[in-house]
């Protein structure tokens, strides 16, 4: 049956293709943002999956709690250790960041920026919140602080089946993966797919899933667009067909 994709760059299409045989699975979405707009998890939620969302922007965390009352929302940033952090909220976007220089660049380009103090946790602590459940996918989209998030994995032995990491400098195609990829490779992950924005990794214990990433989203994935995503190709345009 045709299903609805909500993600901004077909991340949910690729993950669902690989995990279509899993019923009532579990995910961790770091940098979850809105519960529907650009959401990687919404299509899974509609299929009965549940998970943990990490979202430091107060407005988005509140929306997630209201829309997903049966899921866990961690209102914090992730880093190498627990504590507090300065966070720069880029209003009504998915561009909020802990990186001051990135926030300053957004401000220079006309985005309104609010500076707030937030709690900082670690990826290892979030893994513990899963309470031993199998984690089928982990997504990390944190606008430049991916290395710090991965450092917070620490020595935790949890290994999500698939890891998706946004791998370019915000609002550009400049790659950032050389900074953090080794942290995944040494934990047994192999790179399987790049969609122009994210890099996908499959753990060696589930190497059979790698074949699902041989090509991008296509007609055989049988999905429709929600029309809510921020990408221009998700918008409906009225064309003038007059000659």
Which regions of the chain does DSSP assign to beta strands (E)? 3-5, 26-30, 50-54, 72-74, 77-78, 83-90, 113-121, 137-140, 162-166, 189-194, 198-203, 223-225
229: which 2 tokens? 């995503």
DSSP code per residue over 22-37: -SS-EEEEET--SSST
Q: What does each of the 243 residues of the chain score in pLDDT, given as a tens digit?
A: 899 999 999 999 999 999 999 999 999 999 999 999 999 999 999 999 999 999 999 999 999 999 999 999 999 999 999 999 999 998 888 888 888 888 888 888 888 899 999 999 999 999 999 999 999 999 999 987 899 999 999 999 999 999 999 998 777 788 877 779 999 999 999 999 999 999 999 999 999 999 999 999 999 999 999 988 888 777 665 455 554
164: which 2 tokens?
């998706």
Residues 125-151 pLDDT 10s: 999 999 999 999 999 999 878 999 999
The residue extents of the domains of the chain are 3-79+123-231
Burial of 65 (C-beta count, 10 Å sphere; 0-12/13-18/19+)? middle
pLDDT score of 172? 75
Count, residues in the chain: 243
pLDDT at 107: 86
- Look up the CATH number of domain 3-79+123-231: 3.40.50.150
Scanning the structure block, which residue is given the tokens 């994995």?
153
Question: Residue 174 has what pLDDT?
Answer: 80
């Amino acid at each position: 049956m045709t299903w609805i994709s909500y993600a901004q760059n077909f991340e949910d299409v690729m993950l669902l293709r690989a995990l279509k045989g899993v019923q009532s699975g579990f995910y961790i979405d770091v940098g979850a943002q809105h519960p529907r707009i650009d959401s990687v998890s919404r299509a899974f939620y509609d299929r009965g999956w549940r998970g943990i969302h990490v979202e430091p922007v107060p407005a988005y965390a509140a929306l997630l709690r209201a829309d997903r009352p049966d899921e866990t929302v961690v209102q914090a940033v992730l880093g190498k250790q627990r504590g507090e952090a300065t966070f720069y909220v880029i209003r009504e976007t998915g561009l909020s960041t802990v990186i001051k220089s990135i926030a300053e660049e957004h401000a220079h380009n006309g985005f309104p920026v609010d500076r707030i103090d937030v709690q900082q946790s670690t990826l290892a602590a979030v893994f513990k919140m899963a309470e031993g459940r199998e984690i089928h996918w982990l997504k990390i989209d944190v606008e430049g602080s991916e290395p710090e998030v991965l450092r917070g994995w620490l020595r935790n032995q949890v290994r999500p089946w698939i890891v998706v990491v946004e791998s370019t400098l915000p609002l550009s195609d400049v790659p950032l993966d050389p900074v953090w990829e080794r942290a995944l490779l040494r934990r047994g992950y192999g790179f399987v797919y790049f969609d122009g924005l994210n890099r996908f990794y499959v753990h060696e214990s589930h190497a059979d899933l790698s074949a699902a990433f041989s090509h991008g989203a296509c007609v055989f994935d049988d999905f429709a667009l929600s029309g809510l995503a921020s990408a221009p190709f998700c918008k409906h345009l009225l064309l003038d067909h007059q000659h």
